[in-house]
Chain A
Amino acid sequence: MVEFKNVTIKYSENVGIFNVNLSIGKGEFVFLLGDSGAGKSTILKAIYFDEIPTSGEVIFAEHSSLTLKNKELPFIRRKIGVVFYDFKLLEDRNVFENVAFALRVTQMPRKQVKIKTLKILTEMGLVQQRYKMPNNLSAGEKQKVAIARALINEPYILLADEPTGNLDIASEREIIEILKKVNLRGTAVLMATHNTRIVEENTSFQKIYLSKGKITG
């Protein structure tokens, strides 16, 4: 589903990713490991085509970075869920509106938007907080809202960029459990992290090690 063929994205001489080859299949759970600046976020950005390779090819589903057209991009991104360490929530909208917004941009009828949004908020344990504004939520709750928004379009893959970076250990474990459940339902998960404890607690998942923009294991 995701394939990198000799991908290089060069920001400067030694910054970026270099000759990366990787493959992620349907329903896989993969940890992308490495220190800050190793190139983890760049790999994620390349998957949702926010970065286009300097050389090589990124393939997501049937879409290739070599033949990608601007007008296709919004529709591809609806098949990819993305969550970040800083949540990227719309601070001026409540929980319900933040999650529903991802459906509204697909121009789904209001009634269906409401039903789907309430369903996913219930699954995430957020239905009671649906009218709360993001600044009235805990960090863990914010991340759950971000995950709900990322999942509401039923993406093929969920990309998580240091999703536990801003969380305490209890919230961190709760988020990992949610990601595991998401994965069990068939959504591939690619989680970038430099937190080795999470990896030690979840040894059964595939791991990709990255250092200075190159895959080391």
Chain B
Amino acid sequence: MDLIFLIQEAFDGLKRTKYASLITVSTIGICLVLVGTYFVVSKKSDDFLEELKSKISLQVFLQNTVTESQIPNLTQKIKRIEGVAEVNFTSKKDAIEKLSNEMKTDLISIAGYNPLQDEFTVLLLPNFSDENSIKKIKINLQNLEGVETIEFNNSLIVQIGKFQENYKKINLMIGILIGIFAVILITNTVRLSIAARSKTIEIMKLIGATNLFIRIPFLLEGIIQGLLGSLLSILAVFFAAKFIGDNFNFDFSVSRQTYLTLVFLGISLGFIGSLIAVEKFLGAKKNKS
């Protein structure tokens, strides 16, 4: 197989149909910009939700009978509970001092005693920030000796949970719609650019070209068009992200994985589009001949 000739044929094919190829590459580029934008916005939204969830914490108040020497042991026990990310201890002495400083009032002299309790602030892992997980963690905490009460903002947790659930559904729907749109548009554009040369395929068959010989240059063309389209979309997404970052002071960085995904999508869809078109024309009368 004269591979150099076949590669040359693919590039010649692109050159001969340069305007059609330009339109195909641009279409692939525009579709993949849409896909890339979806990836970036979706990732940023996920990051924002994760950050919000990482701020969910439980306040664990201790009985007054708990002594300072018991604190390290209790800290270790809390850390061992599944779903706990971080544990911070605040003594009632530190707590009243902090509060008094904030209020610029000596609260002990007003109350005549320290009304606060020793407490742990328990931060959770993102995957354990839903209502059910928190309930389980709360039970585990309550079973520990010396724990009196546990406080947390239940309504916020419920709201975040509901929002995340809806967000996931909507995000998935948008993703599927964009995906279908991109697949249909890209494969059809590539397919049409090759369909315009059905006469070439017919002549190639007539003069004795094997199916493989006919197929390879067209498939390479599809791959090249997909690659060029994806590179176009990468440039557009990169500069758009840079513009937003520079002008709106907003971190809109795009991961390398997103860029690689765009290249992979471009190449795959270009390949599939050309494969469908070539097989259609090669398949004509196949059952007969």
Contacts and interface: CB of A to CB of B under 8 A. Distances in A.
Interface of A: 48-52, 68, 70-71, 73-78, 82, 88-90, 92-93, 101-102, 104-107, 110, 149, 153
B133 interface: no
Contacts of B199: 88, 90
B2 A90 contact: no
A23 B211 CA distance: 30
A106 B16 CA distance: 22
B289 A70 contact: yes
Contacts of B2: 104, 107
Contact of B289 (A50, A92, A104, A110): A50
Determine which residue in B5, B207, B210 has the highest number of CB atoms from chain A within 10 A of its CB, and name it: B207
B207 A102 contact: yes
A68 B207 CA distance: 18
Interface in B20-47: none
A73 to B, nearest CB: 6
Given A52-B288, A70-B289, A107-B2, A90 B208 contact: no
B81 to A, nearest CB: 68
Interface string B196-213: 000110111111111101
Contacts, number: 61
Given A49-B289, A107-B2, 6 more contacts: A48-B206, A50-B289, A70-B289, A74-B208, A101-B204, A102-B207
12 contacts: A73-B289, A74-B205, A78-B208, A88-B199, A88-B206, A90-B200, A101-B207, A102-B207, A105-B213, A107-B2, A107-B5, A110-B5
Interface in B164-215: 199-200, 202-211, 213
Contacts of B204: 101, 105
B210 A88 contact: no
B217 to A, nearest CB: 11
Interface string B264-284: 000000000000000000000
A47 B247 CA distance: 71
B209 A74 contact: yes
Closest 3 CB pairs of A and B: A78-B208, A105-B209, A77-B208
A52 B205 CA distance: 16
Interface residues of B, number: 22
B16 A92 contact: yes
Contacts of B213: 74, 105, 107
A68 B285 CA distance: 14
B104 interface: no
Contacts of B16: 92-93
Nearest to B214: A105
A206 B286 CA distance: 34
A93 B2 CA distance: 20
Contacts of A110: 5
Interface in B232-289: 285-286, 288-289
Given A88-B203, A90-B200, A107-B2, A75 B208 contact: yes
B1 interface: yes
B208 A52 contact: no
Contacts of B206: 48, 77, 82, 88
A102 B200 contact: no
Nearest to B4: A110
B1 A105 contact: no
A70 B203 contact: no
Contacts of A68: 289
Contacts of A76: 208
A73 B287 CA distance: 13
Contacts of A48: 206
A153 B208 contact: yes
Nearest to A77: B208
A22 B289 CA distance: 21
Contacts of B205: 74, 77
A149 B17 CA distance: 23
A70 B286 contact: yes
